[in-house]
Amino acid sequence: MKADKNSMFLYLVTDRTWLGENKLEDQVEMIVKAGATFVQLREKELDFESFVEDGRKIKKITDQYQIPFVINDNIEVALAIGADGVHVGQSDLNAGKTRELIGKDKILGVSVQTVEQAQLAEKEGADYIGVGAVFTTSTKLDADYVPFETLKAICASVTIPVVAIGGINEKNMMLLKDSGVDGVAVISAILAKSDVILAAKELLQLSKEMVR
């Protein structure tokens, strides 16, 4: 599985906050069926065994629908479940070291906020980059804000796909038009909605219009 521009349209980052009575794998499957083109499993509190168990359940879904599946930060979990790759931030292992650990065939995503970070990530083996936060986000209150012009400069400075993240929803997504991004990564814009299927369908359509 590879991370290309088409897989960036609607990039789902999981979060248990809005699960309610649903099982994580059931929620993810509903959203993938509705149009998510990429899934990142993000867990900050789970122990290793539980993380691996959930990861294997999600991988079955993404394999069935043939979309990329990466683990946030945790290389050990990614390798244990045979995920398609990992996504790391600037405070985690650098892209070069991560690439060494996961091998050349796994997907490597890297979070960046500057042109310099983006270019370095590509040089060190990243397959795609995530840029944010492009808007204020309730999910990560300490996230650095990336202005539109910086986002545009980052997109122009690399040849790998770029996905925007941070506070993106159906009301502000079109403000990213002409930035050069290949899609959007979302959390609450889908997961906090009462109808996640409808939300995913609407966001996918908007994203495709935005990147044209």
Q: Per residue of the chain (212 residues), what is the pLDDT tens digit?
A: 889 999 999 999 999 999 988 899 999 999 999 999 999 999 989 999 999 999 999 999 999 999 999 999 999 999 999 999 999 999 878 999 999 999 999 999 999 999 999 999 999 999 999 999 999 866 555 567 899 999 999 999 999 999 999 999 999 999 999 999 999 999 999 999 999 999 999 999 999 999 98
Q: Are 19 and 196 in contact (CB under 8 A)?
A: no
Q: What is the pLDDT of residues 99-118, one digit of tens each?
A: 999 999 999 999 999 999 99
Catalytic residue among 7, 59, 111, 179: 111
Q: What single DSSP character describes residue 93? A: S
> Is 140 assigned a catalytic role?
yes
> Is 7 assigned a catalytic role?
no
Which ranges constitute the DSSP H helices of the chain? 24-34, 48-65, 75-81, 95-102, 115-123, 148-157, 188-191, 196-211
Q: What is the pLDDT of residues 156-189, one digit of tens each?
A: 999 999 999 999 999 999 999 999 999 999 999 9
CATH 3.40.50.1100 fits 5-211, yes or no: no
Q: How many CA atoms lie within 13 A of 79 on its CB side?
A: 10
Catalytic residue among 140, 152, 201, 208: 140
Catalytic residue among 42, 59, 99, 106: 42
